[in-house]
Structure formats: C-alpha cells, structure tokens
Amino acid sequence: MTPMSSRAIPGRHRPPADTVLYAVGDVHGRADLLERLHGAIVRDAGARRARRRVLVYLGDYIDRGPDSRGVVARLAGDGPPGFERRFLLGNHDAFMRDFLDGDDEVLDHWLANGGLAALASYGVDADAAPAELRARLARAVPAAHLAFLRALELYHREGGLLFVHAGFRPGVALADQTPEDMIWIRDLFLRSDHDFGGLVVHGHSIMSEPTIRPNRVGIDTGAWRSGTLTAAAFEGDELAFLQT
C-alpha cells in the first residue's frame, strides 16, 4: 500500500502548521481493512516531518460489512500511538445509537440498510419485537461501545479543513447546520459550488475513487463491498491518499 500521487491545495484550505491530518472514510464493518489502513497511516506519518498527527474518522463504522463489533472495539480502544483522534457520527451509527436509546421508528430503516450485519456481529438474532430486540442488543453491546457511539461528534474543524460525515447545506451558516443534514445530505451538497468556509472532507456518498472539487473532498470508496478503504492525508499544501 502506497500513497496515490499528491495534489496541491490552496493556502486557505491547509491544516495547522506542523500537523499532518488523516481522514478515514466509511469503514462499514470492515475491521480487516481498518487494520491495514492504520498500518499504512503509521508508516506514512513516520516519513513526514510534522510533529502533530491527527486521525479524523468520518463515521459509518457499523453495518453492511461482517465485523461491526470489531471495528467499534478497535476505535473505542487505544489507537495508533502518537496520534490524536476525533470520531464523527455517521447515519448508520445514529441508527444503532438511537435504537438503543429507545427510538423504535429507526428500526425498520436500520435493518433494511445493513443493520442485520451489525446485529449478527454482536451475536444478536433480529427475529424479535423491537422491545425484546433492544434488550438483546443492550445485553450484547459492551458499555464502552455504547459510550463511543454516544460521544461521536457531528463535525470537526482543523485550520482550513472541515470534516463531516455527509456534508453541509449550502447557504446555511455552520452554526445553524442541522444534525440530519450533516449525516444525511447528499445531492444538494454534492452539486453545490458553495464556499463552506473551509475545504469539506466527507464520506457517505460512494464513488469508485476519491473525489476532489474546489470546495470538497469525498473519500467514501465503498469499502464494505469494494475492499478499498480510503484515507486522505493533509500536510502543508499537499493532499495525498492512502488506500487498502
């Protein structure tokens, strides 16, 4: 695994000085790919001069792939040494969190969109009424995993970079963005050339390869089905990608 060719980014979109930032795309239960990507990131950071190293995970840790539990266990535990870590909320993570917190309305949508794989990874049979299913899942999910899900952030800013799961609504101030848009928005954001006040780095919308636009960088490469988990690396005026 080697970095893809680097691109120059404008000065106003650069990370803080003496910092290398890695954004990790949608993992979706692929603990195997996450392990490989972590190894590549550690090796890449070791070849850079920046003393501050930051990992930003863009959400959707669970569902679809075979090992949601393994992904959450790795992220809720100790990360690669020497890295700061920030964890963002994805719409799939919100499904599980909200169901465990008592919201029955999300259940059908969750199960229809990969939730069965997440339940299976925790050893939970989905053939039950919502209340019983919630009780089974609550018994199976370690407290540290639930705490991890409840602590996820909606967005994170570093210098001229804005990290979010899905995107932002054009024309709306950052402080007024809704959680729903930040974890769900798609076409309105993807088609927009709006200046969001920073280069937006996002996942959520699957592309065959990383997408670079003047106002955004998309890095969801459909790891759960493609086998390609992508990270974007930002240092100084350079953007590069690492992939499994």
DSSP string over 202-220: E-SS--SS-EEETTEEE--
Residue 232 covered by a domain: yes
pLDDT per residue over 86-115, tens digit each? 999 999 999 999 999 999 999 999 999 999
Number of H helices, E strands in the chain: 10, 11
pLDDT per residue over 145-201, tens digit each? 999 999 999 999 999 999 999 999 999 999 999 999 999 999 999 999 999 999 999
Q: Judge whether 167 and 180 are in contact, CB under 8 Å.
A: no
How far is Cα 168 from Cα 199, in angstroms, rounded to an integer?
Answer: 11
Residue 60 covered by a domain: yes
Question: What are the E-state strand segments in the chain?
Answer: 7-8, 19-24, 52-57, 84-87, 155-158, 161-164, 199-202, 211-213, 216-218, 230-235, 238-243
Computed over every residue of the chain, the mean pLDDT equals 95
- For residue 169, the enclosing domain spans 7-243
How far is Cα 189 from Cα 192, in angstroms, rounded to an integer?
Answer: 5
228 residue type, one letter:
T
Confidence of residue 5 (pLDDT cuts 50, 70, 90): low
How far is Cα 5 from Cα 243, in angstroms, rounded to an integer?
Answer: 12
Q: For position 7, what pLDDT does the model report?
A: 80
Residue 2 covered by a domain: no
Q: For position 9, what pLDDT does the model report?
A: 80
Angle at 133 between CA 132 and CA 134, to 5 degrees: 90
Domain count, the chain: 1
Residue 183 covered by a domain: yes
How far is Cα 155 from Cα 146, in angstroms, rounded to an integer?
Answer: 19
Percentage of the chain lying above the pLDDT 90 cut: 95
pLDDT per residue over 24-48, tens digit each? 999 999 999 999 999 999 999 999 9
- Kindly provide the b/e burial profile for residues 178-208, where b requires at least 16 CB atoms within 10 angstroms of the residue's own CB: eeebbbbbeeebbebebebebbbbbbbbeee
| pTM score, whole prediction | 0.95
Q: At 120, is the secondary structure helix, strand, or coil?
A: helix
Q: For position 1, what pLDDT does the model report?
A: 46
Sign of dihedral through CA atoms 98, 99, 103, 104? Answer: positive
CATH label of the domain that carries residue 26 = 3.60.21.10
Percentage of the chain lying above the pLDDT 70 cut: 98
Mean pLDDT within 133-143: 97
Confidence of residue 2 (pLDDT cuts 50, 70, 90): very low
